A and B are shown apart, each in its own frame.
Chain A
Amino acid sequence: MKNIIYLSIIISILFFACKKDTTPEKGTGDVNIISLTATDTVVNAWQETSITVVAEGDGIVYSWEANHGEIHGSGKQIKYMAGTCCSGTNTITCTVSNNTNNDSKNIDIRVLPY
């Protein structure tokens, strides 16, 4: 029985260890996305495209998400790329936020098979 208790403690420590909070400090006042553009909206598999967001507001935090494919970099401009696993029309979402509000915008990138 002792062994079970010890093992449970080890598992708990491993699985519920605290995660470091890396969220930057946010500002205040309204934030809005003015534009979200890509250098190419149709790309071949593994070809990259740059996506840039222009937003207004103070203390903006930029968050990025793709339903398929990969985002490299962070901030106002990122590189997007997808392999053959993710051919099709993929949606990249940019969210800008601060302590007051947030705003999101999508852009679709068509990834062709290799």
Chain B
Amino acid sequence: MKKIIIIISLNIFTYHLYAQCCGAGNPISGFNNVSGISKNSLMISSFYKHSYSDQYFAGDTKADFNPDKMYYDYLSFGVAYGITKKISVNGELGYFFNKTKEYNIHNYSPLKGNGLGDLELNMKYKLIENVIERIDITPSIGIKLPIGVFDQEVDNVKLPISLQPSSGSLKLNASVFATKKIADFSISVRGFFEYAKRIQSKNFDYKYGNLYLLAIYGSYKFNEKISVLSQFRYEYREKSVRENSEIVQSTGGQVVYFIPQINYVIIKTFGVSIFADIPIYRYMNGMQVANKYSVSIKLTKFFNLNKK
């Protein structure tokens, strides 16, 4: 039972990328089970997120001009499987029910996109699993494939890339996750890097800025049913580059989030997690809209395929 609780608890360490201006694509990077899962175990999860952004920032200061606001609702499904004792893989695919921009200027009607996002695939390797010291270290590598919608039109007018469900860019990532358990507490650290490949087409030449994350978690298990988790996450995104190597000054920036989370095991192998991303520091290059908040819920079902 304890093992299952731990697995489900680990499964809900998730990463949620802030929606920078002109950055289409999935809101999550797909690390459903940052520490991997055991051999012949199967994990299925469903994740819903609502995100809202209405405040422009110039550097770390709120701008006095807010021309628009953006919000989205996103639902994804993920599958993870333990291939060996040390290696596990997972995939995740999501759907944007809406990706909407509303305007405070020019009396424009809202623009809205919807559709399939990017496909995320990851492989994790349990490098160190010290049962006595209760330390785990798990590096992982992953890829994000832009299989979703990137050319959506409304009335024969193509939506801007910030509202396209897919980023249109192939992305590669690598990360390391380390955790130390002390009684019912655990402390975890994760470093993450994502490289975005340049997109080149007839009239479009663009490279999203690379992304760096550093997250520190603390979690506490109250009982067999309930655990809580607090996360501080620092995100740094480089500026984007467009044709002729021109740097797009109002892209990229730094955000620090506080993410409180509560996890509840409904039945033996089925858990739910609710959490919120609350930005506590934002530094946006140039002038950009910044995320105000997001709320998420995640359901996780675990299957032990070793059972006869």
The interface of chain A, by Cβ under 8 A from chain B, is 3-4, 7, 11, 14-15, 22-23, 46, 48, 61-74, 78-79, 81, 83-88, 91, 93, 106, 113-114
The reply to whether B111 and A70 contact each other, CB–CB distance below 8 Å, is yes
Q: Once the chains bind, are B77 and A63 in contact (CB under 8 Å)?
A: no
Whether B218 sits at the interface, judged by CB under 8 Å, is no
In the bound assembly, the distance between CA atoms of A39 and B109 in angstroms comes to: 21
Q: State the Cβ distance, B106 to closest chain A Cβ, in Å.
A: 6
The answer to whether A15 and B95 touch (CB under 8 A), given A70-B160, A84-B286, is yes
**Chain A residues in 8 Å Cβ range of B158:** 63-66, 71
CA distance A3 to B206 in the complex (A): 42
Distance (whole angstroms) from the CB of B249 to the closest CB of chain A: 6
A68 to B201, CA, bound (A): 13
- Minimum CB–CB distance from B210 to chain A (whole Å) comes to 17
Evaluate contact between B156 and A84: CB separation under 8 angstroms: no
Residue of B nearest to A106 (CB): B203
Instruction: Write out the residue numbers on chain A whose beta carbons fall within 8 Å of the beta carbon of B93.
Output: 11, 15
Q: A84-B286, A85-B21, A113-B286 are in contact. Are A15 and B116 (CB under 8 A)?
A: yes
Q: How far, in angstroms, from A66 to B158 measured CA to CA in the complex?
A: 7
In whole angstroms, how far apart are the Cα atoms of A71 and B301 in the complex? 43
Give the residues in chain A near B250, CB-CB below 8 Å. 83-85, 87, 113-114
- Contact status B21-A83, CB under 8 Å: yes
Contact (Cβ within 8 A) A79 B106: yes
Docked Cα-Cα span, A111 to B286, in Å, equals 14
